[in-house]
Amino acid sequence: MTPIDDPCARRNVLKGAGLCIGAGASLLSGLIPPAHAEAPSPPGLWSTEYWARKGDIPLYMFRKRLGAPRPGELPRPVLFLVHGSSVTWRIFDLDTPGRGDYSMMNKFAAWGFDVWTMDHENYGRSGRTSGNSDIASGAQDLKAAMEVVVRESGQPRAHFMGESSGALRAGLYAQIEPQRVDRLVLAAFTYKGTGSPTLKKRAEQLDLYRAHNMRKRDRAMIQSIFTRDKPGTTDPAVGDMLADAELKYGDQVPTGTYLDMTANLPIVDPTKVPAPVLLLRGEYDGIATVEDLFDFYRQLPNGDKQLVTLPQTAHSVAVAKNRELFWHAVREFLTMPAPIFI
């Protein structure tokens, strides 16, 4: 096994199981903390790391499933998780000792899914560039990542679940490569931003987002994700654990998604998303309003679509106290039987 700061590094991977894509060690030098922040895998779960390549930019990927892949086995359904503006993929696999299970990756891997995620350009362990990592860039990240997923999993298509600006990335990707998307979950999604108090407040910093490609993300900012809309819907102690995990990767993140969400909406055209879609919104979400989501929902061309409100939940559904309601809604949507009459 190679050192952890080598872009070909793996963990818990059988010899010969998978390929490393793209070196890019110079871009990553000094940016990788010595320890991982993901949740420990329960017995039976297997995890490993990959690198995709978008041009010259190395993109870090992480995977969990039940057991290591075996020659000749049937491929499992792939679920790809897409992170938002102010965090990395670790929000989906956070180690939270004493606070309960917050790892969506562990949960869905135990349910039989082949679960993948990634750090987008300028986030986490992925390569650093002079760009602002906007939504269009994030969709291209997913395009590069899917080349690895298809080869390594044996599946030509994947389910996608994106949260917040991750939902915008996933939705735009479903537009540009619909043949790669099976079912699509858009959590805390923003269409036009209609009636959003959070986006109205955020727009006060529009000149900053236009003039700078990076913004500050300190502990208080990360913790505010847990308290901004409705205090009590999340556990502040988990917010502190997330801040510990995230700040290992620096106190700045790109401005591109904030700029897009305050000045460039709509990004995703619902009429051009052919996949079945589940729209998920927390009851107290200050960004994704019911009016905005229903406008998007009614234009979706596929009759296989759902709009679900999660009670006593705010914008960040992945780390909510009621996260098990979120997991349940996603699982039921992804495992719906195929219609017998078409």
List b or e across 97-108, with b for residues whose CB sees 16 or more CB atoms inside 10 angstroms: eeeeebbbbbbb
Range list of H helices, the chain: 25-28, 104-110, 135-153, 165-176, 197-202, 206-211, 219-224, 236-246, 256-263, 290-299, 323-334
Between residues 37 and 232, the one the model is more confident about: 232
Q: What is the pLDDT of residues 287-320, one digit of tens each?
A: 999 999 999 999 999 999 999 999 999 999 999 9
Between residues 30 and 307, the one the model is more confident about: 307
Q: What is the pLDDT of residues 242-277, one digit of tens each?
A: 999 999 999 999 999 999 999 999 999 999 999 999
Q: Per-residue confidence at 37, pLDDT binned at 50, 70, 90? A: low
Average confidence (pLDDT) over 201-220 = 96
Q: Name the architecture of domain 38-46+68-103+129-334.
A: 3-Layer(aba) Sandwich (3.40)
Q: Per-residue confidence at 340, pLDDT binned at 50, 70, 90? A: confident
DSSP 129-142: -SS---HHHHHHHH
**Residue 17 pLDDT exceeds 80:** no
pLDDT at 326: 98
- Contact between 72 and 139 (Cβ < 8 Å): no
- Domain coordinates in residue numbering, the chain: 38-46+68-103+129-334
pLDDT at 33: 44
